[in-house]
Structure 1
């Protein structure tokens, strides 16, 4: 049977989509309705503005589930217009705002007094505010790079621009690579809005750095002035001056690997809000340790020793300023104190296979869930769960540690009936993408339609 465009569209609209939406509604409106997160963003298609409405929820059978619920057209992109659209869609499917635990969209319409979030909070007062932590880490890099004397980001952009417009220049660089006995590598493009594109571009520059430097020196007066200034190739430059740029590139290559690691953890499909505090806290500790130890990367240390003391001191001061600025910015936008509601969620990771009633009590109090949970029965469940959880961890300890947080809870719920504990977990066991401007809208720093 061949299916043309009309038949395929009819099958999707009249059969597959209603079945998919029906399965979602069946899960969300079962005997005990599940709490869920909603997320949306405007998608422009010509002169039409479309709004997909996605829901994410936790079920004891499948763990964290991400489903498309609706796809609507609305020319009004104001905060009030988006909220009305969400409300109409939920009403159409018989869902209540009381089930909504979190909201995610891009930073458009994200204000203090009039935003989608603030308007939704009027309808669901216990809605929690979060931030895109990957966005915080990305902005941290942008601010910290401003402390460096060498404009590393501009070096990457200018070098790429120089070679991307000329096949002849590319071939010349190949010849210099052969002469310098280094393998030729294509210069990578860096896009400032993509969070993970800078460090790979720097890595590629470092792989061909001797050839690149020799090539630009050979150009003499034909080398663009901006490139000469960025690479410190002025007429009175010395060998030490030229090495300074390499030192800065090595430092950025080393330190940005740490930022990349954090962003990838935050963007992982398996990462949940339970893990956010520990990820950010560990990130802060690594930055602090590097600053206190004055460790800027081993290769950076080796190159610094070859510089004149004056240049080396300037570079070290810049690197220290980079780390201080990074720590200051992260501390400004992320609360590293115990009053942060994310702090109280950490025991729910089950990493050590232990969980006390006091831990659950702090969570229910912090998230205003006490009125939704019978605390006495929750205590009984917590008491009966201890030997079960201990057995699950001991039977396959390595496998248990490798599991994601959601997978650990699924394993527990499969062997024990814990309805009150499930009520608590289903409110919070969502991926970190649920919080404002999260990965549901961005993948690796790229805005998605």
Structure 2
């Protein structure tokens, strides 16, 4: 027996963390076993505690504790830091799901997976957001927030002007019309393009579209700020080549609704270039569009025919490539179709001429001595158009940048015509045809080429007339030496549209702008910036008093979208990726919310959005609230109506 008793010391508590001091200094209480389980340490000290830890009773208690969750695991202390972090995580995962095109069904798995893979994380253990909750967060919290931020930014940053565009897309029997506004806000990074509404409409008449656009702009407080309408070139939108401001189209009707009657109309330049090529192709003796389509149809679902074509490719030592089709509604889809046919032309020609009963149209085409020559010339023309359309489709182009592209196309076509341009390969084939005694046919081809260029130049000239009114703003690209005379033309343009510009102040500000631009002479990085980026850079470095009049000009000019297709095609692509066969049950309300979040918050990364949520307590409270669910809002409405009916 020891001379003195052992005590439950601090050292023993550190070594055996499941014990705490018992009823006196000579015993410890086990916190894992049932309450009141005391172990005496008076005789053997630490060995007494070790014996208890190794006992079957203690091991059974440990197994029981591991399999049971504590009550605190299911509740979070209100208004705590942990509650905000969990809510921010749920909101961020909802945003992450939308941004990366994931299905809401994924969240049913994700919620449980986080608990399993991160068991030591309090946030992961308390994270609870499956399909229904994630959809409710997007529909009722994130989508309204992004729309509210757009309108708030316009109001707080004194944005005076905006342009509006819309177009329709079919999903089965549903006709969906997104409405997009464009405005210039240098404090937010320059030119902004945002969706403010997306609804289905029963038809696409001018009256229906007008009513929809007008009501949307009025409800958002933007009707008086609207100075431009942008749409495709169909008669419903503009009434023909010359924008008809007195007709029954959407542009004319919306113009009549505005008090100042100075609405600017902008069509789709990409559509113009696309139609220009189709118009030119129709002047040729050979219907190339029809040939491309028929060849594609002949092979695309027939395995036997395709395998035979592959054999012909091997025979003529040509690599097989799948033939492509085209559609008149898809811009320059004819170009890749012609490209692909030329690559396998010898094999395809040999295949059809060897068949017993090939389609008559295709047989005539391949028997035509100049079929390959026509294809090669059309390819060279379309390659030029294709490169310019890619420039037009660049995001956030201004009107002057688009006008420059159209003028370049016009100049190139005039040069081609004056020099009767043909590629060296075409000229080589023509020389061979002349040696074969086909001189008359070669002369006919030269005449066709000349007619093709005439058709392109005439069509382009007609449709460019409506864009030429913006030539007075060419100086705003800041890529050429600045001259005050050119700025004066812009001021006159704006004064005619009731935009007040103080030309005295503007001249002083122009001098400051000129100094700013001069310091970047020879700076390729600045020169290659888009126009709105150059202006944003200028406004960031100058004071408000030094740019007040120039800011009015910039806000008006950049509110006029260069065309609607770049934005609309992006939105329609997003729409198709969500409204696929696998997600056919997605409601229009959910799709609208998804596109609002995905398009209007495209500048956010998922990490940045998480930080944004943590800073926004009001948004976190909305995510936590049950009001985000449709049933809760409906219940609240019923209670409100019942309360109002009880009031005498």
Structure-1 separation of matches of 2:176 and 2:461: 37
Structure-2 separation of matches of 1:248 and 1:117: 40
Q: 1:160 aligns with which of 273, 296, 303?
A: 296
Change (3 A) 1:294 1:78: closer
TM-score relative to the length of structure 2: 0.63
Partner of 2:509: 381
Structure-1 separation of matches of 2:296 and 2:214: 47
Alignment of 1:70-219 (within 5 A): 70-75=197-202, 77-93=204-220, 95-106=221-232, 107=234, 109-110=236-237, 111=239, 112=244, 113-124=247-258, 125-219=261-355
Question: Based on CA coordinates, which of the two structures has the bigger radius of gyration?
Answer: 2
Change (3 A) 1:447 1:68: closer
How many aligned residue pairs are there? 431
Moved more, 157-166 or 249-258: 157-166
- Is 1:332 paired with 2:462? yes
Local SS of the residue matching 1:223: coil
- Superposed CA RMSD in Å reads 2.5
Structure-1 separation of matches of 2:421 and 2:173: 53
Structure-1 separation of matches of 2:312 and 2:421: 33
Change (3 A) 1:75 1:179: closer
Q: 1:420 aligns with which of 549, 574, 584?
A: 549
Change (3 A) 1:78 1:321: closer
Q: 2:378 aligns with which of 249, 252, 256?
A: 252
Change (3 A) 1:8 1:356: same
Q: Which stretches in structure 1 are left out of the alignment for 5+ residues?
A: 233-240
Kept in 1: contact 2:325–2:333 (CA 8 A): yes
Change (3 A) 1:73 1:131: closer
Partner of 1:225: 360
Kept in 1: contact 2:228–2:559 (CA 8 A): no
Q: Per chain length, whose mean CA-contact separation is higher, i.e. which structure has more relative contact order (CA < 8 Å, sep 6+)? A: 1
TM-score relative to the length of structure 1: 0.89
User: What is the deviation of 1:272?
Assistant: 1.2
Kept in 1: contact 2:472–2:490 (CA 8 A): yes
Q: 1:313 aligns with which of 443, 455, 463?
A: 443
How big is each residue's C-alpha offset from its partner over 1:195-227, in whole Å with a ceiling of 9 and x where there is no partner? 1211111111111111111112222x3222221
Q: 1:291 aligns with which of 417, 420, 423?
A: 417
Kept in 1: contact 2:205–2:236 (CA 8 A): yes
Kept in 2: contact 1:193–1:446 (CA 8 A): no
Partner of 1:59: 185
- Is 1:348 paired with 2:482? no
Structure-2 separation of matches of 1:430 and 1:168: 55
How big is each residue's C-alpha offset from its partner over 1:171-208, in whole Å with a ceiling of 9 and x where there is no partner? 11111111111111111121222112111111111111
Kept in 2: contact 1:58–1:426 (CA 8 A): yes
Moved more, 264-273 or 253-262: 264-273
Local SS of the residue matching 2:479: coil
Partner of 1:238: none
